[in-house]
Amino acid sequence: MSRILLAPMEGLADDLLRGVLTAIGGYDWGICEFVRVSNTLLPARTYERICPELLNGSRTASGTPMRVQLLGSDPHFMAENARRLVSLQPAGIDLNFGCPAPTVNRHRGGAALLGEPELLHEITAAVRAEVPAGIPFTAKMRLGIDDTSRAVDNAQALAAAGIDELIVHGRTKADGYRPPARWEWIDKVRAAIDIPLIANGEVWTVEDFRNCQQVTGCADIMIGRGAVADPLLARRVRGEAVAGWAEILPGVGDYWRGIRRKVVPVHAGGRLKQWLAMMRRSYPEAEVLYQQLRPIKAAEDVEAALLAAGILKRLPRAA
């Protein structure tokens, strides 16, 4: 059976949203937002802040394994930090060679390294030496920086360095998130390596999922923004009967409660609106709620609107 995986999404899918999406269900495992490694050995609390699931056996509250992603360009410090991460018993370790964000790329991180297959190999081999066989070890890459000319070289360098599986996002750094994803290039990469490959990119619907499998030759698919836009997508792919928006609404309430615990009030409403804005693609009801909340600034007023809509339940007063 195909595996359906939840992608790491910096600035979008933090532990709160990961918890909601995996509680709704359908995912075999996922990867958290990246931990940036520079010229230092990070303390355990840094990993636990970015991936609080580490404090729960590296699983979300609903039990979905969550792997930890490292991003950096120095083989020595990547290895040192991998050793520390191993001591926290993650469900898996992933290396980020795909982030296209300019702030990351300016510091030689993420997709900016895709012009240097030798360095990819050096980083990955150094980390491999610190990751025991019992911990899954993967890497996630894009097809290149400005073109796909080194896609196969990069994939082969990572495979030779000892990763267990490779995840390929079917775009270059320059492509950003513009459609379409170059699924046919994922197939070319898959054919050139001898380890399992997981396809990623531009999967928004069940039809997209099946088409991606067919074009890439990959059974296993990682879903990113499509999972945020339709939290029921993984279960739809699995052929489960789902109730639609009514099944998502409790998760909206859970997400808001988590936001209020974690986020300062001035930013709380924006976080919820960001998610609703993406769900508008899949649910007319999300559009209605988004438009209702859009002009509301204060967190207390957002909460009042959610209570009035029946999305939140008013807690009984203490005696």
Among 209, 237, 265, the domain-final residue is: 237
Q: What is the mean pLDDT of the chain?
A: 95
Mark whether 295 and 193 lie in a shared domain.
no
| pLDDT at residue 109, rounded to an integer | 82
Distances (CA, A) of 84 to 56, 87, 164: 17, 5, 20
- In the chain, what's the furthest Cα-to-Cα distance? 69
pTM of this prediction? 0.95
Band (pLDDT 50/70/90 cuts) for residue 101 is confident
Mark whether 182 and 275 lie in a shared domain.
no
| pLDDT at residue 1, rounded to an integer | 78
| CATH number of the domain within which 146 lies | 3.20.20.70
Among 237, 254, 283, the domain-final residue is: 237
Mark whether 187 and 170 lie in a shared domain.
yes
Please pick, among 32, 99, 212, 218, the residue that the annotation labels catalytic: 99
What percent of the chain shows pLDDT beyond 90? 92
| pLDDT at residue 318, rounded to an integer | 38
Mark whether 172 and 199 lie in a shared domain.
yes
Structure confidence by residue, pLDDT tens digits, 196-238: 999 999 999 999 999 999 999 999 999 999 999 999 999 999 9
Q: Domain for residue 298, yes or no?
A: yes
Mark whether 10 and 139 lie in a shared domain.
yes
Residue 165 lies in domain: 4-237
Among 219, 237, 255, the domain-final residue is: 237
Total domains present in the chain:
2
Structure confidence by residue, pLDDT tens digits, 137-158: 999 999 999 999 999 999 999 9
* pLDDT at residue 314 greater than cutoff 70: no
Mark whether 228 and 281 lie in a shared domain.
no
Structure confidence by residue, pLDDT tens digits, 40-79: 999 999 999 999 999 999 999 999 999 999 999 999 999 9
* pLDDT at residue 107 greater than cutoff 70: no
Mark whether 231 and 183 lie in a shared domain.
yes
Mark whether 20 and 70 lie in a shared domain.
yes
Q: Domain for residue 313, yes or no?
A: no
Q: For this structure, is 218 an active site residue?
A: no
Structure confidence by residue, pLDDT tens digits, 155-185: 999 999 999 999 999 999 999 999 999 999 9
Mark whether 273 and 196 lie in a shared domain.
no
CA dihedral of 260, 264, 270, 275, whole degrees rounded to 10 = -40
